[in-house]
Amino acid sequence: MTITMVKKVLADGSPCRKCADVMAKLEQSGHIERIDKIVIADETDPNSEGMKLAREYNVDRAPFFIVQEDNRAAKIYTVYYKLVLEVLDA
């Protein structure tokens, strides 16, 4: 299983508040160790990797998580606590 976190950088260059909150929770809980990749969705760059992933998975919130298990469709989580319950603490 691989877990990718997509977090947003706002047009003024600052990180989105919710993304920073979720990062802090991941670090405090030790779950940050389970995140395989962190990708940036830059509001000023529609071709940034995170913006491309947001379009591909039709997600309009940040942060979001892409959970990929072998030979299964990727599962998208836009709610941190749901990710914790169903994946990180499962």
CATH of the domain at 55: 3.40.30.10
| Total length of the chain | 90
Give the C-alpha separation, 23 to 78, whole Å: 14
For position 71, what pLDDT does the model report? 87
pLDDT at 7 over 90: yes
Give the structural domain span for 69.
Answer: 2-88
**pTM flag (> 0.75):** yes
**Residue-wise pLDDT tens digits, 13-35:** 998 999 999 999 999 999 999 99
For position 70, what pLDDT does the model report? 87
List the one residue out of 2, 9, 3 whose CA is nearest residue 62: 9
Enter the tokens of residue 73.
């469709």
How many domains, in total, are found in the chain? 1
For position 84, what pLDDT does the model report? 96
pLDDT at 90 over 90: no
In the chain, the percentage of residues whose pLDDT exceeds 90 is: 93
